[in-house]
Amino acid sequence: MKKILFISTFFCLIANVQIYGQRVETIHLTEAGTLSKIVTNPVEVTHLTLTGTIDARDIYFLDALFYLESLDLSDANIVEFEGISKPSNPYDQSRFYPANQLPTFAFSLSRLSSLIFPKTLTSIDFYGINQDMMPLPILVIPEGVTTIGDRFASYQPLLKALTLPSTLMTLGDRSFISSENLSVIINFNPTPINIDNSVFERVNKNACILYVPIKSKSDYEVANVWKEFNIIELPEIAKDDITITPSDTTALIEWKSYENAEGYKLIIYGNETHTDTILILEFDTKGKLLRSENTTLFHTIKNLSTSTDYHYTFEILGVSNVVLANQSGEFSTTGEPTNIIRTVSASNKIEGYYSIWGTKLLEEPKSGMYIILYSNGQTEKRIKINY
């Protein structure tokens, strides 16, 4: 079992944060096409979350961020644009770029290892990912995408895991040609779409696991190209598969053991929108969490605040830690409120330091997130980063 405290969620709230030589930025665009005016030193940005309204000009400008390692566009909305998308290129011609479409040759970033597409994306033009230099280990195509153009992510030798949405209707020729290390595909479409042999050319299909929805396996076993993969049905989490029994400061979680699972993950949030991450716990199916007969797994979450509402997401993990299924819910601890974590405010004499769960600390932490308690009873949440 590996326990991970998830702190990085809070960093995205801070512009221009330097973390060990890296620069993390969150940029919200209210006017499409203005990203180039906001980012004054593009070569310094390594992690970017881009939200708001964007168009093809903003997407193509991202290539100027030479050292970009992660890009999150999940809350960005691509609007239509007609004109020259690359003013710096004298050979670029005026054209029309549809809304909610990733344009051709969208990315050619040699260091990008994490890419999250917009939630509102509906189509991807041909050559969506421009180069074979991008070290992308995982690609998740969001629900709502119906069309992926030819050669979308061809020649991606480091690609290990791919997720395809249930809405996908067209998968272009040579989309994933020469992805030699592709070992797992999650296909949420219950009906196998017709694809050309070139889509997964030079992929070792016999060694690649293809997860498909329950009751769809027989259809995929006779479908062209798909039948060549190692086909496994996706697990389903029933409502009663997970139970949480809370007390004042702990919560016992129990869940069913699922066939073909490679592990499990539990994420605890402090709010309903799942933006305030309290902690992440990962579980190995062969660890100490196994009960007798390997039918039920359990874990006790400690150091919770009393009389507090919590929200969670439980995930079943497959090969390469891809998420096969998930379930979200909520629970509340019992007892009287401790009032340790309250409204952020004020400066006064410092009475003590506390972890984000309310445990008193012997001294002020050198890094990370913690709570300062003042003599007037007010508290302040702080993040400290060592350079």
pLDDT at position 223 is 97
In this structure, what DSSP letter does residue 342 have? -
Tell which residue, 366, 278, 370, 385, has the closest CA to residue 16.
385
For residue 226 the two structure tokens come to 């798909």
- Tokens standing for 121? 């994306």
Query: Region 96-104: what's the mean pLDDT?
Result: 95
Burial class (CB in 10 A: 0-12, 13-18, 19+), 35: buried
The residue among 226 and 309 whose pLDDT is bigger is 226
| CA atoms of 180 and 157, how far apart (whole Å) | 6
Higher pLDDT, 253 or 189: 189
- pLDDT value for 89: 66
At residue 359, what are phi and psi to the nearest 5 degrees?
Answer: -80, 130
d(CA 80, CA 98): 5
Report percent pLDDT > 90 for the chain. Answer: 48
Tokens 């020729």, residue located: 173
What's the rounded Cα separation, in Å, for the pair 210 and 227? Answer: 9
Is residue 381's pLDDT more than 70?
no
**pLDDT for residue 9:** 30
The strand pair at 379-384 and 368-374 is best described as: antiparallel
Question: Comparing 6-15, 38-47, 243-252, 259-268, which segment has the lowest mean pLDDT?
Answer: 6-15
**Do 311 and 272 contact (CB within 8 A), yes or no?**
yes
Say what the pTM is: 0.76
Q: List pLDDT tens digits, range 128-165.
A: 886 656 788 999 999 999 999 999 998 888 999 999 99
Measure the CA–CA gap between 176 and 52, rounded to whole angstroms: 30
- As given in the structure block, the two tokens for residue 214 are 């329950």
- Collapsing DSSP to helix, strand or coil, 44 comes out as helix
Q: Residue 384: which pLDDT band, with cuts at 50, 70 and 90?
A: low
8 A C-beta contact, residue 81 and residue 103? no
Measured over all CA atoms, what is the biggest interatomic distance in the chain, rounded to whole angstroms? 72
Taking 3-state DSSP, the helix, strand and coil percentages for the chain, each rounded to the nearest 5, stand at: 10, 35, 55
**Residue 132: CA count within 13 A, CB half-sphere:** 11
Q: Is residue 11 scored above 50 in pLDDT?
A: no
Predicted confidence band of residue 36 (pLDDT cuts 50, 70, 90): very high
* Beta-strand relationship, 161-164 and 123-124: unpaired
> Residue 290's pLDDT band (boundaries 50, 70, 90)?
very low
